[in-house]
Amino acid sequence: MGGGDPLLFQHLFWFFGHPEVYVLILPGFGIVSHICMRISNNDSSFGYYGLICAMASIVCLGSVVWALPLFVYGIHGLPRRIIESKNIAVVLPSEACLLEFVWTFIPTLLIVVLCFYKLNYLTYYSGGRFSNPVKIVGHQWYWRYELSKGVMYDSFITDIINSVNKPLRLFYKTPYSLLVTSADVIHSFSIPDYRLKIDAVPGRIKCVKLFADRLGVFKGYCTELCGVGHRYMPIVIEVVLSKNI
């Protein structure tokens, strides 16, 4: 009969059976979330939720680890009464069908609500009505912008690093539908400051919504290896007030 390594199984059971291991691992999730927040330069995407959740999990698991030796050596006073009350609260309703239905129905309802909002988010970015469409066509090695008013121009790199002769100008506080495609090879339209990255594929038009909620100049680049001139495809978006256009 086949079998596994008993020593390996012993270590695996020890790893998953000791909450103190998770206490050591969980801070990493909060640290990663904090790093992603700083790199993306967007507090609203990640915020401090990951760090807070990791700290809360550490407190919960730490209390469990702290309570284990108390059961071995005995507990007295207030900690004993608290733990006994928790045990009673868990044991008594184990046969209560109504209570079991409630604590099953409420999480299910929360999941349905979250799915509804997620579906709304997906349908918002999947197309539909295009507000202020801007067609972006990738070429080797420049970008062509076609605006809704019939204006079309090419954007080439200049002698200044990460600068172009004709940037894409957008109105402040205005929603846009960016229709991205390519005329030759696969490119990628990326603006890190707006958390925007979409591939430009020949023969296909991809749509992504952009709300210009910040004034300024935002620079990006083609993030797909599209040939020897790949580095000569910077992207510059200028978000200005309408009176400045």
**Does 169 lie in the same domain as 122?**
no
∠201-224-130 over CA atoms, to 5°? 45
- pLDDT tens readout for residues 58-103: 777 667 666 666 565 555 666 666 665 655 555 555 555 676 677 7
Tally of domains in the chain:
3
Average pLDDT taken over every residue of the chain: 73
Mean pLDDT confidence for 15-34? 57
Please give the pLDDT value at position 1.
Answer: 43
Domain match, 102 and 168 both: no
How far CA 117 is from CA of 35, 44, 57, 112, 215, in Å, comes to: 27, 17, 26, 9, 29
For residue 58, the enclosing domain spans 6-93
Q: Domain of 237: which CATH number? A: 2.60.40.420
Asked if residue 125 has pLDDT above 70, the reply is no
- Region of poorest pLDDT, from 41-45, 152-156, 208-212: 41-45
Alpha carbons 90 and 225: distance in angstroms, whole number: 58
pLDDT for position 4: 46
| Residue 18 resides in a domain | yes
Q: Is residue 65 part of a domain?
A: yes
> What is the DSSP secondary structure assignment for residue 161, as one 8-state letter?
T
Same domain, 147 and 222: yes
Q: Are residues 143 and 213 in the same domain?
A: yes
Residues 84 and 155 in one domain: no
pLDDT at residue number 208: 85
Instruction: Determine the pLDDT at residue 106.
Output: 84
The backbone torsions φ and ψ at residue 217, rounded to the nearest 5 degrees and listed phi first, read -110, 125
In a domain, 1, yes or no: no
With contact defined as beta carbons under 8 Å apart, do 70 and 95 qualify? no
Q: Tell me which of 45, 77, 93 is where a domain ends.
A: 93
Together in a domain, 27 and 89: yes
| Whether residue 238 is found in the same domain as residue 149 | yes
* Cα distance between residue 158 and residue 46, in whole Å: 36
Q: Is residue 11 part of a domain?
A: yes
Residue 85 covered by a domain: yes
Q: Is the pLDDT of residue 214 over 50?
A: yes
